[in-house]
Amino acid sequence: ISYLKQKAYKPHIYTLQEIHRILEAAKNLQRRYPNRLTGWTMETLVLILYACGLRLSEAINLKIEDVDFEQGTLSLWKTKFHKERLVPFSPTVGRKLADYLASRNRARLPTGHKDPFFAHPGGRYSKHSIQARFHLLLAHGGLARPKGRGGPRIHDLRHTFAVHRLYKWYQEGHDIH
């Protein structure tokens, strides 16, 4: 029954230049609205989605206690298929996470161990609100999707992480097979 088949979505693999443009668009939000966390949140989220290969739901479900700065790991609980895992992050990502947490604390948001890491005055961000903000970053970064076509999506940062990591290993001479 051919009418049940869906066309496979072809993920958008961001270039490093495109990722830098998205991050710069988030920094511009910070400069434009210095008293709001939106720019800080979007820059930090985009960075960890790309640098750690997280799903959006994994990132927005992080609690403050899930970020271990000493070990350089994120603890992910009850992810897709109810799995748990530790995800390492680099010192650069660790500094960005610490900077975000400091900004979040200056905004006087709740700082308990069980509180969401990515938060706004109303609580935890929703996937929909982050995706809407991400599309604005794409537009400001000159990466808006053509009219009537899908992508690029925020989830494509996860695909980009995988492709860039494999390519880096290949360049370093590792056996990627």
- How many CA atoms are closer than 13 Å to the CA of 37, on its beta-carbon side? 24
For 144, residues 6+ apart whose C-beta sits below 8 A from its C-beta are: 135, 138
Asked if omega into 91 is within 30° of 0 (cis), the reply is no
Burial of 112 (0-12, 13-18, 19+ CB in 10 A): exposed
Q: If pLDDT is split at 50, 70 and 90, which confidence band does 176 have?
A: confident
Mean of pLDDT over the chain: 90
For 165, residues 6+ apart whose C-beta sits below 8 A from its C-beta are: 53
Helix, strand, or coil here: 86? Answer: strand
Give dist(CA 155, CA 137) in Å, integer: 14
Q: If pLDDT is split at 50, 70 and 90, which confidence band does 4 have?
A: low
pTM of the model: 0.89
- How many CA atoms are closer than 13 Å to the CA of 89, on its beta-carbon side? 27
Contact criterion met (CB below 8 Å) for 11 and 159: yes
Give dist(CA 65, CA 84) in Å, integer: 15
Segment 8-22 shows an average pLDDT of 91
Task: Give the model's pLDDT for residue 88.
Answer: 96
Give dist(CA 106, CA 166) in Å, integer: 38
Q: If pLDDT is split at 50, 70 and 90, which confidence band does 2 have?
A: low
